[in-house]
A and B are shown apart, each in its own frame.
Chain A
Amino acid sequence: MKITILYGTETGNAEMLAEDITASLSAEHEVECRNLSEMDPRAFDPARFYILVCSTYGEGELPASARPFAEAVAAARPDLSAIHFAIFGLGDSEYAETFNHGPKRLAELMAAHGARQVGERIAHDASGGDLAEDLALPWAEAVVAAARERLGEAA
C-alpha cells in the first residue's frame, strides 16, 4: 500500500515517532514521511493511506508544525471525502485538562472536510511508563490492515 505519514510537532518527539512508524512499515509498504507544515491540503491522494502523528501544545493547541496546515485547510476547504486517515496522538497527562487536544482538533479538522478515519485515535502519555513506539507500531500495523480493506486492492 502507498502510505504517507504526516507529523505535527513542536519539540520533535512526534517527528521521531513518525520516522519510527515509517521505518517499521517500509518493509512491506511504499511509505513517505512528511512534516504537516509542508503538506498542501489540495494534494491529498485517494490512492494513499494517511497516518497522522500529532502532539499537543500550550493550551491544548495544535503543535507548531500543524498550525500552517490547519490554516491552509481552512483557506482551501478541500473535499477530503475520498481520503482515509488514521491518527496517533502524543500527550502528557500532567496537563490533564488539555491531554491530547491537539490530535483531537486535527482529527476533527480532517473529518469536517469529509475525510474518513480508520481505527481508533489513540494516545501515548509521556508521563506514563511505556515508550511511544511500543504503542504506535502495533497500532500502525492494525490501522494499515484495516485501511487495506477500505482502500481495496487498487491501493
Chain B
Amino acid sequence: MSRRVRDRKRLEGYLPPEGVPISFSIASIGARFGAQVLDIALTYGFIILLVYAMVTTGALPIEAMFALVMLCVFLIRVPYYILAELVWNGRTVGKRLVGIRVINAEGRRLTPHQIVARNLMKEVELFTPVTMVFTVDAMSGLGVLLTLVWVLAVLIVPLANRRRQRLGDMVAGTIVVDNPRNVLLPDLALSLPVQGSARPVFDFLPSHLDIYGRFELQTLEKVLRDPVKGEEPPDFGQISRTIIRKIGYADPVRPGQERAFLNAFYRAQREHLETLRLFGNRREDKFHSAPES
C-alpha cells in the first residue's frame, strides 16, 4: 500500500537525453498554491510600495504616475511569470521559496515556447476567475453559476490527473516537480562492521541467505541507519530474534551482540543478493520462490 502511494507522487521513468531514466517527485497542490500566493503577494506588494514611494516623494505628475502604475499592473501578470521562469529555468520567486520548479515533460530542456504557453493560460485559469469571484455581488444568477462552473473546471483539472498538470501545463507539455535534494549517507557495509577489537564472527550458510530479497534488505538498511531525531530507536533485539527465527540461524547470539549480528547479516545478505543480481537473478522480495501468479 505504502509503495503504491509513493508511486503516485513520483514521476517515474523520466528519460533525459543520456538515456538513463531518473525520477522526480511531483509537487503537491499545496506547494503550488503556496508558490502562487507568494508570487501574487510579492508582485502586488511591489506595486503598493511603488505607489507609496511615488505619493510620498511626489516626483511625478498624477497622470504619469497613473500610467506607470497601469503599466506595472500589466507587467506583473503574465509577463512577470514568463520572464522569471525563462531567467531562472522554470522558477518564479514564489517557486524558488517553496522549492518547486517547472520541467519539460519529455525529458528535454525547457523551451521558451513552453514557458510562454503555460503562463498565458494562467490568465484563464487564475486571474480572470479570481477577478470574477471578487465581482460576484454585482452578477446575475446566471453569471454566478457560470463563475462557479469556471472555477470548478479549472480546479478539477490538476486534481483529476495523476501528474497534477493544470491546463497550461497540458498545452505546454510541462510538469511541476519538487526541487531534488540529496544527502549521501555512508555505506553501511563500509562504516559499520568494525566495532572494537573483539568483533564477533557470524557465519552464514547459503540457506540462511536464500530467504529474503531486495525489499527486506533495504528495509533492514533503513532500520540500521541512525534514527531520525524524535523517533524511537528501533528494538534491535526483537528484529534480530525475528530474523534468526525466519532464516533458521543455529549459532547462539549473545545479548548485547544483536547490533553486530544485524550488521554482519546485512553485509552477508547484500553480498549474496548482489552476486545473484550479476547473474540475472533479481529477488525483489521474500516471495521470490513463490510460483508466478
Report whether chain A binds chain B: no
A residues whose Cβ falls under 8 Å from a Cβ of B? none
